[in-house]
Chains A and B, each alone.
Chain A
Amino acid sequence: MKIALLTHRHSFKCAVIGSALAARGVQPDVIVCEQPPRTPAGARLRQLILERGPQALADKLFSKLGTRREERTAEPGHSGQRLDAASYAAQHAIPLVDLPDLASSASLDRLRAEAIDLIIHAGAGILRAPLLALPRLGVLNAHMGVLPLYRGMNVAEWAAWEHGPLGATLHWIDPGIDTGRIISTVPVARQGMRDVATLRHAVDQAQTAALADLVARMVASGEPPAATPQRREDGRQYFTMHPLIIEALEQRLAQSA
């Protein structure tokens, strides 16, 4: 079974999933990187001036020159702690496919040529239908919330805020936002969640372990797992949690711990 991790160059998630797979004797065959999403330069410039005024332009130019020198000296100290996708691929001798995007016909042709059986979503952006149709088995995702209830962003936090079920879900990706067929749900206990970081870490660990276990089973059996379709109306989409609600959640968690 040919397995690809789909990520972007600066994502650390690829290394986390890769390591969990390696611990179960599975090595991805290829790492596919898309260019990280980037706001157009004109829009970034407008935002900078809007927030900080024209002086910010000069400040940014000068600081950029300084930062480049600092980054060069700082890099070695960080490299051993968290690996980005390219470093992880190099360290484990996994072929790396760099793509400018995941939607153009050139990118799709390049991926098609790889004849991938299973893609694991490991930090890439939103995927469109043509890409989802490429791998023989599909594109697998680990989601930090219990589906179908909690779709979208910051769902671990939202579930904690709403006193809903905490957990992670393994599912096949379809063109909707977290609406694909559900393979399994892994509950996470509420006890000991003293802050948001602990909460996120616990759910993240649960989803990574469950994902790696599933892939190991698939490699061993050569078969895709059973999955249950979701009904759109059974859940709702959540968006980035506002800092004031996060702050309130931090207080609740601290009080309940």
Chain B
Amino acid sequence: MLAALKTAARDALDCRPWVAGHGAYLLHQVSGRGSIDEAGAHDDAAMRAAARWLAAAQDSQNDGGFSGRYKLARGWSSSYPETTGYIIPTLLKLADLWDEPEWHDRAARAIDFLLELQLPDGAFPGGEVLENRTRPSPFNSAQILHGLTHWARSTGDTRAQTAAARCAAWLMSVQDEDGAFRRHFYLDVAATYSAHLSCWLAEYGEAFGDSAAMASAERHLDWVLAQQDRATGWFDLAGFTDDQHSGRTAYTHTIAYTVAGVLTSSLILKREDGIAAAHQASEGIMRRLELSRWLPGVLDWRWREVEHPQCLTGNAQMALIWFALTRHNGDWRFANAGFKALDLVKHAQLRDNVNPGLAGGIGGSDPVWGSYIPKALPNWAAKYFIDALIEKRALLQAAGAPP
């Protein structure tokens, strides 16, 4: 009891409740959130607030990159190249949706930042810039490839297209014979969430007619599909750590990376077996959400709860996967689950706060002291939340419902 109180007190002090806005944010974790906005009345305000938070994350840095996260203990962290890369398509969508050039300009600054960082062999460094500028990361490079591909396709910027080509070539050069990616991964252990690496090779290959990139993506897809448990749809090696691999558990964040990667690659490569595999996993996770009315942050191979706090980016990422499946096969049970998962993220968002590091941001976990990115608001949670709200709006419009 005493130990628990000490831990709680230490956790509370870590979050610096005396800093502007922190007290209100911490209170919001446990109290006074209001009812869940199922009617979607606050969707636009929620999206706008999350976009303003992303803008604040970029403005907090002087290099054009997006701060990786706002930490309650230390404030903004340094620019995170990986997520800056995949925020670019989100910014381009916002520019279109709101007809506001600001978001396009922000994407341009992000591109300049990334082009400066590319290593001589075409790779991009992993981690945030303050911790690493030299060690390459295949997974992180691929997320940047995704941003470069969208920017080059949208603007015709040849610098970005050349950088994308070099990045794709490097990724193919570090792929193993069996299709897996091990080199430059932690302990050289392959993970199936790297499906979210190869899908961007497939996207790049399709966009710019690079058949080698498509073939590389397909080899990796085969390797990932071989790791699937056919009984439950679970993908082995979908977690971050050896413990998660051996326990067959993972955060919904990396589960969603895996499923999204398989689905995206399979749609591009027209692989029905891959679409079926993604469908099976998505259905298991949908069932968990529906039965629990909550999406636990860590799930096991039977899609059972391992950790209760939600991994909010996982919710938003799963919503995107479910929306994509509804678009693909017309099964609205998936969109139904996506709406519910997003409602839960919206419920955890504090739109108004005096601190721009907190207003509109999305916590790593709900409550924010959960084990995924504890006591911090990562930029990718806001990115996926915006992406999912945009897709929700489009889906409802296509169905003839009010936006």
Residues of A within 8 A of B (CB): 49-54, 158, 161-162, 236-245, 247-248, 251-252
In the assembled complex, the Cα of A49 lies from the Cα of B29 at a distance in Å of 10
Given the known inter-chain contacts A162-B332, A252-B400, please indicate yes or no for A239 contacting B339, CB distance below 8 A.
no
Residue of A with least CB distance to B39: A243
Residues of B within 8 A of A (CB): 30-35, 38-40, 286-287, 290, 330, 332-333, 335-337, 339-340, 396, 399-402
Contact B31 A247 (CB under 8 A): no
Contact A239 B332 (CB under 8 A): no
Contact B401 A244 (CB under 8 A): yes
Which B residues are in CB contact (< 8 Å) with A49? 30-32
Given the known inter-chain contacts A49-B30, A50-B31, A252-B400, please indicate yes or no for A242 contacting B340, CB distance below 8 A.
yes
Residue of A with least CB distance to B293: A240
Given the known inter-chain contacts A236-B333, A251-B401, please indicate yes or no for A242 contacting B38, CB distance below 8 A.
yes
Which A residues are in CB contact (< 8 Å) with B339? 242, 244-245
Q: List 15 A-B contacts (CB under 8 A).
A: A49-B30, A49-B32, A50-B32, A51-B34, A237-B287, A238-B333, A239-B333, A242-B38, A242-B339, A247-B39, A248-B396, A248-B399, A251-B400, A251-B401, A252-B400
In the assembled complex, the Cα of A7 lies from the Cα of B293 at a distance in Å of 24
Pick the residue among B34, B330, B336, B396 that contacts A239 (CB under 8 A): B336
Contact A239 B290 (CB under 8 A): yes
Which B residues are in CB contact (< 8 Å) with A240? 290
Residue of A with least CB distance to B36: A51
How many whole Å from A170's CB to the nearest CB in chain B? Answer: 25
How many whole Å from A178's CB to the nearest CB in chain B? Answer: 15
> In the complex, given contacts A244-B401, A251-B400, A251-B402, what are 19 additional A-B residue pairs having Cβ atoms less than 8 angstroms apart?
A49-B30, A49-B31, A50-B31, A51-B32, A51-B35, A52-B34, A53-B32, A161-B332, A236-B333, A238-B333, A239-B290, A239-B333, A242-B340, A243-B39, A244-B38, A245-B401, A247-B39, A247-B401, A248-B401
Residue of A with least CB distance to B336: A242
Rank and list the top 3 A-B pairs by shortest CB-CB distance, nearest first: A53-B32, A248-B401, A239-B290
Pick the residue among A237, A239, A241, A244 that contacts B39 (CB under 8 A): A244
Contact A243 B34 (CB under 8 A): no
How many whole Å from B282's CB to the nearest CB in chain A? Answer: 13
Contact A243 B31 (CB under 8 A): no
In the assembled complex, the Cα of A239 lies from the Cα of B338 at a distance in Å of 12
In the assembled complex, the Cα of A162 lies from the Cα of B332 at a distance in Å of 8
Which A residues are in CB contact (< 8 Å) with B399? 248
Given the known inter-chain contacts A239-B290, A240-B290, A251-B400, please indicate yes or no for A245 contacting B332, CB distance below 8 A.
yes
Pick the residue among A50, A158, A251 that contacts B33 (CB under 8 A): A50
Which A residues are in CB contact (< 8 Å) with B31? 49-50, 53-54
Which B residues are in CB contact (< 8 Å) with A161? 332
In the assembled complex, the Cα of A158 lies from the Cα of B331 at a distance in Å of 10
Which A residues are in CB contact (< 8 Å) with B340? 242
Which B residues are in CB contact (< 8 Å) with A53? 31-32
In the assembled complex, the Cα of A54 lies from the Cα of B31 at a distance in Å of 7
Which B residues are in CB contact (< 8 Å) with A239? 286, 290, 333, 336-337
In the assembled complex, the Cα of A34 lies from the Cα of B295 at a distance in Å of 29
Contact A244 B33 (CB under 8 A): no
How many whole Å from A125's CB to the nearest CB in chain B? Answer: 14
Which B residues are in CB contact (< 8 Å) with A54? 31
In the assembled complex, the Cα of A52 lies from the Cα of B35 at a distance in Å of 8
Which A residues are in CB contact (< 8 Å) with B38? 242-244
Pick the residue among A51, A158, A242, A248 that contacts B400 (CB under 8 A): A248
In the assembled complex, the Cα of A251 lies from the Cα of B401 at a distance in Å of 7
Which B residues are in CB contact (< 8 Å) with A244? 38-40, 339, 396, 401
How many whole Å from A65's CB to the nearest CB in chain B? Answer: 23
Pick the residue among A52, A241, A251 that contacts B336 (CB under 8 A): A241
In the assembled complex, the Cα of A241 lies from the Cα of B32 at a distance in Å of 26
Which B residues are in CB contact (< 8 Å) with A242? 38, 336, 339-340
In the assembled complex, the Cα of A51 lies from the Cα of B347 at a distance in Å of 9
Which B residues are in CB contact (< 8 Å) with A241? 336
Residue of A with least CB distance to B291: A239
In the assembled complex, the Cα of A86 lies from the Cα of B35 at a distance in Å of 33
Contact B401 A51 (CB under 8 A): no
Residue of A with least CB distance to B402: A247
Contact B336 A245 (CB under 8 A): yes
How many whole Å from A41's CB to the nearest CB in chain B? Answer: 17
In the assembled complex, the Cα of A244 lies from the Cα of B399 at a distance in Å of 11
How many whole Å from A66's CB to the nearest CB in chain B? Answer: 21
How many whole Å from B158's CB to the nearest CB in chain A? Answer: 43
Which A residues are in CB contact (< 8 Å) with B35? 51
In the assembled complex, the Cα of A52 lies from the Cα of B33 at a distance in Å of 6
Given the known inter-chain contacts A247-B401, A248-B401, please indicate yes or no for A50 contacting B30, CB distance below 8 A.
yes
How many whole Å from A242's CB to the nearest CB in chain B? Answer: 4
How many whole Å from B325's CB to the nearest CB in chain A? Answer: 13
How many whole Å from A49's CB to the nearest CB in chain B? Answer: 5
Which A residues are in CB contact (< 8 Å) with B287? 237
How many whole Å from A126's CB to the nearest CB in chain B? Answer: 11
In the assembled complex, the Cα of A54 lies from the Cα of B28 at a distance in Å of 12
In the assembled complex, the Cα of A53 lies from the Cα of B31 at a distance in Å of 5
In the assembled complex, the Cα of A54 lies from the Cα of B396 at a distance in Å of 36
**Listed residue (B32, B38, B39, B402) with the most chain A CB atoms within 10 angstroms of its CB:** B32
How many whole Å from A250's CB to the nearest CB in chain B? Answer: 10
How many whole Å from B221's CB to the nearest CB in chain A? Answer: 26
How many whole Å from B87's CB to the nearest CB in chain A? Answer: 27
**Listed residue (B33, B34, B39, B333) with the most chain A CB atoms within 10 angstroms of its CB:** B333
How many whole Å from B84's CB to the nearest CB in chain A? Answer: 33
In the assembled complex, the Cα of A49 lies from the Cα of B38 at a distance in Å of 19
Which B residues are in CB contact (< 8 Å) with A251? 400-402
Which B residues are in CB contact (< 8 Å) with A51? 32-35
